């Protein structure tokens, strides 16, 4: 039985989350709390496997409570986030502080997709409950100092043999992506395209946050634009990002179709487009996430000579997407997320 504590100042949200979670016979909400201070006491008392934590609460907000949880009694925490600019920024900060993922507040609304919503919530709780969470380091250099810190230079072997890196990532992705990109040098010679499963309200702030802590340029993709080396393109939530060729020009394009894709953005759609346009001149990488999005794209890229990387089990929040390509024997290398930046820098010369 997975034991959960729900912390939220809304009685409706506490009831809704409890109801949805307990429809799964393997999950039990052992207690609820209405603010961060009460939540800490309840967590100490019940020692749950997973905590859901609202961000905006009276007396003690979610970020403050999260800091206490991670310092005193680290465990998987899912943030409850509003789909606003402020909510996105606070949620990304929470994930930097140690939260493993987030749940949009709209999950509690009655809708035609309530069954799917319940399943997603239940699956997240069940997946993250299996992970051991370590307290983050208490002292971190300021953003400016981190940005100025030298990064290891790529091993130069003449001209790069690969021009594009396509990354698929989901649950637990933002901290993983930040860890990798922040280690890349400003002169990283390839372009990077990322499909991160994330709502549309989050991808813009996510790209801006990455750009502020990375030496390499990071932006949210928009419209259609020429592919530029040394640039990271984040797919906007609710849409797809693809690589396409127009004459001699390579373009990054944002697409609405296929509208019925299970994930928007889809790692499969991104990586398949990179396979078609770049083939052996591309690297495909799959990071932490539930499910198997990216498997079909990686298979296509591998068949065309692409080089394939996967995050290892030990460093994933959820070892689903990487496991799918590892089990299919499609990977050339498997790395801890701490070593992935160096692996990407090496891979473009292989």
pLDDT, position 340 = 97
Taking residues 25-51, what's their average pLDDT?
A: 97
Output the CA–CA distances (angstroms, integers) from residue 274 to 218, 259, 269, 294, in the order listed. Answer: 19, 20, 9, 12
Instruction: Please write the tens of the pLDDT for every residue from 305-314.
Output: 999 999 999 9
In a domain, 70, yes or no: yes
Report the C-alpha gap between 77 and 94 in whole angstroms. 9
Residue 43 pLDDT class (50, 70, 90 cuts): very high
Q: Which residues of 16-34 are buried (b: 16+ CB within 10 A; e: fewer)?
A: bbbebbeebeebebbbbbb
Report the C-alpha gap between 11 and 22 in whole angstroms. 16
How high is the mean pLDDT of the chain?
89
Please indicate, yes or no, whether residues 95 and 232 belong to a single structural domain of this protein: no
199 pLDDT above the threshold of 50: yes
In a domain, 135, yes or no: no
Q: Tokens representing 1?
A: 């039985």
Range of the domain at 59: 2-128
Sign of CA dihedral 92, 98, 100, 104: negative
pLDDT, position 107 = 52
Q: Tokens representing 314?
A: 């030990």
In a domain, 143, yes or no: no
Catalytic site positions? 170, 197, 293
Please indicate, yes or no, whether residues 265 and 302 belong to a single structural domain of this protein: yes
Neighbours of 126 (CB within 10 A): 18
Q: What's the distance, CA 302 to chain centroid?
A: 23
133 pLDDT above the threshold of 60: yes
6 pLDDT above the threshold of 70: yes
pLDDT, position 88 = 87
pLDDT > 70 in the chain, percent:
89
Please indicate, yes or no, whether residues 194 and 115 belong to a single structural domain of this protein: no
Please indicate, yes or no, whether residues 276 and 173 belong to a single structural domain of this protein: yes
Residue 135 pLDDT class (50, 70, 90 cuts): low
In a domain, 136, yes or no: no
149 pLDDT above the threshold of 60: no
80 pLDDT above the threshold of 80: yes
pLDDT, position 137 = 53
Instruction: Please write the tens of the pLDDT for every residue from 82-99.
Output: 767 778 899 999 999 999
In a domain, 149, yes or no: no
Taking residues 138-158, what's their average pLDDT?
A: 45
The DSSP code for 137 is P
Output the CA–CA distances (angstroms, integers) from residue 114 to 20, 30, 197, in the order listed. Answer: 9, 23, 19
116 pLDDT above the threshold of 80: no
Taking residues 244-250, what's their average pLDDT?
A: 91
Q: At a CB cut-off of 8 Å and minimum separation 6, what does 135 contact? A: 70, 71, 74, 98
pLDDT, position 144 = 41
Instruction: Please write the tens of the pLDDT for every residue from 160-170.
Output: 999 999 999 99
Please indicate, yes or no, whether residues 8 and 106 belong to a single structural domain of this protein: yes
Q: What is the CATH number of the domain that holds 101?
A: 3.40.50.2300
Please indicate, yes or no, whether residues 167 and 80 belong to a single structural domain of this protein: no
Number of domains in the chain: 2
Pairing assessment for the beta strands 249-255 and 240-246 based on DSSP bridges: antiparallel
Please indicate, yes or no, whether residues 166 and 30 belong to a single structural domain of this protein: no
143 pLDDT above the threshold of 90: no
């Amino acid at each position: 039985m997975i034991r959960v504590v729900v912390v939220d100042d809304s009685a409706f949200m506490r009831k809704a989350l409890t109801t949805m979670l307990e429809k799964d016979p393997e999950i039990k909400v052992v207690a609820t709390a209405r603010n961060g201070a009460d939540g800490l006491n309840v967590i100490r008392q019940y020692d749950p496997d997973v905590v859901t934590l609202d961000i905006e609460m009276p007396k003690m907000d979610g970020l403050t409570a999260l800091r206490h949880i991670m310092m005193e009694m680290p465990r998987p925490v899912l943030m409850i986030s509003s789909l606003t600019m402020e909510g996105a920024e606070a949620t990304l900060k929470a994930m930097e502080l140690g939260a493993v993922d987030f749940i949009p507040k709209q999950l509690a609304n009655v809708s035609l997709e309530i069954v799917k919503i319940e399943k997603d919530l239940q699956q997240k709780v069940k997946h993250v409950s299996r992970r051991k969470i370590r307290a983050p380091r208490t002292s971190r250099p300021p953003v400016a100092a981190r940005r100025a810190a030298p990064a290891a230079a790529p091993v130069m072997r003449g001209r790069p043999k690969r021009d594009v890196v396509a990354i698929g990532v989901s649950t637990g992705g933002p901290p993983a992506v930040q860890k990798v990109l922040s280690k890349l040098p400003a002169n990283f010679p390839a372009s990077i395209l990322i499909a991160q499963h994330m709502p549309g309200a989050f991808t813009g702030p996510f790209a801006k946050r990455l750009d502020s802590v990375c030496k390499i340029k990071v932006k949210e993709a928009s419209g259609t634009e020429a592919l530029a080396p040394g640039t990271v393109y984040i797919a906007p939530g609710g849409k797809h990002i693809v690589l396409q060729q127009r004459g001699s020009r390579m373009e990054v394009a944002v697409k609405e179709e296929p509208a019925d894709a299970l994930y928007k953005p889809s790692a499969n759609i991104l990586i398949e487009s990179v396979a078609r346009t770049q083939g052996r001149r591309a690297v495909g990488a799959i990071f932490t996430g539930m499910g198997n999005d990216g498997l079909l794209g990686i298979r296509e890229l591998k068949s065309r000579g692409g080089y394939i990387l996967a995050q290892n089990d030990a460093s994933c929040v959820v070892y689903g997407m990487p496991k799918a390509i590892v089990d299919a024997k499609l990977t050339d290398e498997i790395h801890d997320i701490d070593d992935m930046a160096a692996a990407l820098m090496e891979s473009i010369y292989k």
